[in-house]
């Protein structure tokens, strides 16, 4: 079938919306009609060439929400008509990592997915007969996509697609970082560095966990206003002396939990330094640029601070994303306030421009 999709032709160049061919799903796969797709920083990061694991040409996009249209042989997890969220972090439910409560890093299809292919090592996308690779196993900057059934989270049909899309990456990453990776405790003091979608998700997740104080830092006053709306008790414009300010605000101790959501290694260091001596936990959510290093003075750690990373917030996609969506539908998460721009597929490069100048929180592509 012929579909419209946004193709990354070469790094550093605008995406090109064009017709490509998408072939039928094979065994274990499903054809998804996309209804909405978030424009995530990871897409822009890859398109820029800064991602050391990036590849082109490919169809970008990974924050997708849609409806199953057809399925291949042996598919049992979804059926035509199901409303789904696409998962760059699949959950096979059978590998050693899926069976462990300690991680969400499914092993089943990782190697092929990282290389831009579906599990059998081939693609379903073609242009003039030449294969195009799948971005993060999803390729949702398109009218339709084909994905493995283990990379689809079935959600309530009552959940609007535009609101579902951010749960496919940014929002779940922030929520999960607080709820599943750090496991913020009731009454704790939390500091969040960066109030884009991931950082705001960490603010919301900390509120849901019952944190007593949530301090948000960002360069943008409008994003700090968003942080206050979603549960931050204190906000401040980020600066070079943020660590000293945070310590002063917390009686000289620092925060019990800190979250970094910027991808800036200098801010990552601030998040570690601002964590409380003896038990503070710094969770790194951002992705640094190619070749960048996080340098830490060992005394920061030998005095008891801990540092951890998080992938998709530690969220097990097929089982836990639907639970997060239910919390949205129950009124615990104000997703509508996080969607700042609704655009068409043809406006994808404008979506990147909005993100580059930090205009709003999340742009979402809506498909007719």
Sheet harboring 234-237: ordered strands across?
A: 234-237, 213-218, 189-193, 257-260, 281-284, 306-309
Residue 76 known to be catalytic: no
Write the CB contacts of 346 (distance below 8 Å, at least 6 apart in sequence).
17
Q: Phi first, then psi: what are they for 4, rounded to 5°? A: -95, 135
Our measurement of the distance from residue 20's CA atom to the centroid of its chain's CA atoms, rounded to an integer in Å, reads: 26
Q: Which of 37, 92, 164, 285 is catalytic?
A: 92
Residue 58 known to be catalytic: no
Q: Which of 26, 110, 213, 327 is catalytic?
A: 110
Q: Which of 29, 35, 42, 189 is catalytic?
A: 42
- Kindly report the three-state secondary structure assignment for every residue of 115-153: CCCCCCCCCCEEECCEEEEEHHHCCCCECEEEEEHHHEE
Q: Which of 37, 40, 164, 195 is catalytic?
A: 40
CA dihedral 300, 301, 304, 307 (to 10 degrees): 110
Residue 169 known to be catalytic: yes
**DSSP letter, residue 158:** T
Our measurement of the distance from residue 108's CA atom to the centroid of its chain's CA atoms, rounded to an integer in Å, reads: 20
Q: Give the up-direction half-sphere exposure of residue 318: CA atoms within 13 A in the CB hemisphere.
A: 15
Q: Which of 29, 35, 37, 106 is catalytic?
A: 106
Residue 63 known to be catalytic: yes
Residue 42 known to be catalytic: yes
Q: Which of 35, 46, 58, 63 is catalytic?
A: 63
Write the CB contacts of 245 (distance below 8 Å, at least 6 apart in sequence).
236, 239
Residue 195 known to be catalytic: no
Residue 285 known to be catalytic: no
Residue 319 known to be catalytic: no
Q: Which of 21, 95, 247, 326 is catalytic?
A: 95
Q: Which of 29, 35, 37, 62 is catalytic?
A: 62
Residue 143 known to be catalytic: no
CA dist 306 and 301 (Å) reads 6
Residues designated as active site: 40-42, 62-63, 92, 95, 98, 106, 110, 169, 362
């Amino acid at each position: 079938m012929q579909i419209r999709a946004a193709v990354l032709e070469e790094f550093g160049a605008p995406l090109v919306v064009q017709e490509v061919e998408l072939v039928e799903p094979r065994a274990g796969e499903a054809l998804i009609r996309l209804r909405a797709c978030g424009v995530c920083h990871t897409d822009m990061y890859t398109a820029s060439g800064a991602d050391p694991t990036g590849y082109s040409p490919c169809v970008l996009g990974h924050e997708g929400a849609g409806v199953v249209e057809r399925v291949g042989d042996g598919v049992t997890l979804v059926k035509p008509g199901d409303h789904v969220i696409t998962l760059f972090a699949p959950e096979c439910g059978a590998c050693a990592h899926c069976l462990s409560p300690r991680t969400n890093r499914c092993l089943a299809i990782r190697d092929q997915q990282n290389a831009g292919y579906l599990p059998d090592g081939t693609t379903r996308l073609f242009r003039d007969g030449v294969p195009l690779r799948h971005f993060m196993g999803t390729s949702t900057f398109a009218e339709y996509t084909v994905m493995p059934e283990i990379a689809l989270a079935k959600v309530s049909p009552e959940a609007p697609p535009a609101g579902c899309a951010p749960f496919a990456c940014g929002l779940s990453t922030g929520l999960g970082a607080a709820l599943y990776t750090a496991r913020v405790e009731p009454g704790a003091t939390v500091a969040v560095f960066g109030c884009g979608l991931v950082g705001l998700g960490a603010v919301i997740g900390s509120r849901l966990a019952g944190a007593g104080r949530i301090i948000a830092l960002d360069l943008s006053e409008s994003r700090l206003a968003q942080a206050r709306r979603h549960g931050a008790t204190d906000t401040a414009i980020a600066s070079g002396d943020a660590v000293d300010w945070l310590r002063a605000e917390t009686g000289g101790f620092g925060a019990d939990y800190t979250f970094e959501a910027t991808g800036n290694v200098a801010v990552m260091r601030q998040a570690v330094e601002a964590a409380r001596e003896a038990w503070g936990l710094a969770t790194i959510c951002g992705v640094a640029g190619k070749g960048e290093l996080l340098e830490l003075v060992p005394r920061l750690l030998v005095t008891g601070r801990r540092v951890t990373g998080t992938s998709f917030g530690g969220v097990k996609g097929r089982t836990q994303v639907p639970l997060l969506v239910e919390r949205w539908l129950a009124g615990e998460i104000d997703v509508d306030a996080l969607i700042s721009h609704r655009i068409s597929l043809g406006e994808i490069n404008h979506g990147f421009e909005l993100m580059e100048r930090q205009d709003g929180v999340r742009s979402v592509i809506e498909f007719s």
